[in-house]
Amino acid sequence: MLRWNDYPTISGVEGKEVVLENPEKKEVMRTVEGLQEDEYLALQDFDVLPYKPCQEMYKPAEFMKKGPELKIRVVDEPARFHIEKEMKRFDFNRPKRGYKWTNPKNNTSVFTSLSSLIDGAKIFSYSSRRYIDKIKVGGHGRNALLKVPSRSKKKRHNVALNLLPIGCGRNWFEFQAECQCEEYFFYKNSSNKYKNPEIRVCSHIIAGFYETMKVFHEIEGNKHIPSLFPGPTEKVLKFDENLGKTFVKETYKRRLNKAEREVLICGYQGLEKDCFSFNLPTGWEQKIF
């Protein structure tokens, strides 16, 4: 897992520069997908963030807090079938900031960005291969308390998962979680589109949930935890790696911000339709870098 400070900078990138001037959106996606190991991409005169209804551009933080999302409709079936089916609805021409579902009992929404799915899988993979920095899981009943390693600092975040799904997965929409990381608090209840709060699922919660699925049934006789979050496939992991070698060329070159990264991943999901899946092979986390 690359920690945030290890991602390539302009001065640290070596290789051939591929420049796209005034490109079409699909051209950007395919170029990012096809970057070679010794190439990096510079986008010139290309607006990554989508337009608001009033034809003004979103600001990055504004898009991540108030932008459009794919709404997962609550139905009486396990999340692993329902969420994967609904994610096929990602529209290439209308990029989302992720997907969300709403608990009909209290109208509280749970939001997950696609970049958090990728980052959470990376943290889980990193932790599973280390003797130190492992995710620690405790708790009982349908509640779990975890300590998840940070991506950028030498510390652990406290994560709480409560109302974990039951074995059949039918009550998945009741899931709630909390994390003490900065991202969680920055976005927590930050959307003003909704009367009721929006619980944001960060990458530490995703990583912690994967580890909880793996070991929770071994603790104090707890029962197994069914899948709730789809994992990234090999192709989208490669695509995301290439986003780390993609820069916006304005008066100077700069890295993609989180919102721009999210838009491009959503667009790639809209093109390919199978970037995330619950049907990943056994040991998939060992192959994530």
Whether 5 shows a pLDDT value over 80: the answer reads: no
Binned at pLDDT 50, 70 and 90, residue 78 comes out as very high
How many residues does the structure list for the chain?
A: 289
Residue 223, pLDDT score: 86
Residue 167, pLDDT score: 86
pTM exceeds 0.85 for this model: yes
Q: Which CA distances in Å does 259 have to 65, 155, 179, 228, 242?
A: 10, 25, 21, 24, 16
Residue 274, pLDDT score: 94
Continuous segment of H or E residues that includes residue 54? none
Residue 220, pLDDT score: 78
Helix, strand, coil shares of the chain, percent, nearest 5, are 35, 20, 45
Residue 251, pLDDT score: 84
Task: Compute the average pLDDT of residues 214-224.
Answer: 86
Name the more confident of 193 and 171. 171
Binned at pLDDT 50, 70 and 90, residue 31 comes out as very high
Binned at pLDDT 50, 70 and 90, residue 222 comes out as confident
CA distance 50 to 269: 16
Residue 8, pLDDT score: 60
Q: Which residue, chain included where needed, has tokens 């989208």?
A: 236
Residue 276, pLDDT score: 97
Q: What is the DSSP letter of 230?
A: P
Beta strands in the chain (DSSP E): 16-21, 39-44, 70-72, 99-102, 109-112, 136-140, 143-149, 156-162, 176-179, 198-201, 231-232, 246-249, 253-255, 276-277
Residue 116, pLDDT score: 95
- Which residues lie below 8 Å from residue 227, measured CB to CB, with a gap of 6+? 78, 79, 80, 169, 213, 278
Binned at pLDDT 50, 70 and 90, residue 63 comes out as very high
Name the more confident of 223 and 35. 35
Whether 210 shows a pLDDT value over 90: the answer reads: yes
pLDDT in tens, 241-268: 999 999 999 888 899 999 999 999 999 9
